[in-house]
Amino acid sequence: MRFEPARSSGSKGTNLSAGSQIHFQRQPLLKLLRSDKLKYERVLALQKLDRDPDGVFIELKHHLAWNVTHRRPVFSPSNSCFDFVHDTFLECGDLVGGFASLLWLAPDHIHVYVESDGEKSVEMIVRGLKQFSRNAIATQFPDIGDRDAPGLEIWDEAYFVETAG
């Protein structure tokens, strides 16, 4: 791909040099071309086009973490509901296209390990895990919710993700 310098429209009041105009135009495109999402999509597409789709094996491993809404210590003591929450995440294999397991249950946040086949984005995986676990936990432990705000979600919207292998 070749970048051409932007042509000046002749407007007064701009003191940008041709070099800085190229810099401003190139940065968003370079940022897009270097993005992990685009690289992942290109590799996945190439693998599926070049090979038999049934023969392509993708395994993505992620460490996920998210907080309880307002960092409330709803899992205190953690060991009182650890087994149930652990088993709940083990049931989420179909949701993530692989395997999900609870790594750590703190009073106000959670860590989950996920192995996925790459068919679903991390955002879709997290959204599904949060929804499934929220429903299961709310059913099993109805008193976990905030008594002052009964409609309050268990999980915060934000999450942390890192590739684990």
What structural domains does the chain harbor? 16-56 (no CATH), 58-163 (3.30.70.1290)
Pairing label, strands 109-116, 98-105: antiparallel
What gap in Å lies between CA 160 and CA 64, rounded to an integer? 6
pLDDT at 41: 73
Residue scoring higher pLDDT (32 or 7): 32
What gap in Å lies between CA 92 and CA 124, rounded to an integer? 13
Of the listed ranges 2-11, 55-64, 93-102, 112-121, the least confidently predicted one is 2-11
- pTM (global) more than 0.85: no
Q: Is the pLDDT of residue 150 over 70?
A: no
Residue scoring higher pLDDT (111 or 20): 111
Q: Is the pLDDT of residue 9 over 70?
A: no
44, 57 Cβ separation under 8 angstroms: no
pLDDT at 56: 58
pLDDT at 151: 58
Sequence-separated (6 or more) residues with CB below 8 Å from residue 95: 125, 128, 129, 132
Tell me the DSSP string of 7-18.
Answer: PP---TT----H
Sign of the alpha-carbon dihedral angle for 63, 68, 73, 74: negative
Q: Is the pLDDT of residue 92 over 50?
A: yes
Task: Write out the E strands in 10-106.
Answer: 60-67, 98-105
Max CA pair span of the chain: 71
Average of pLDDT values for 21-45? 65
| Residue position matching structure tokens 């790594």 | 103
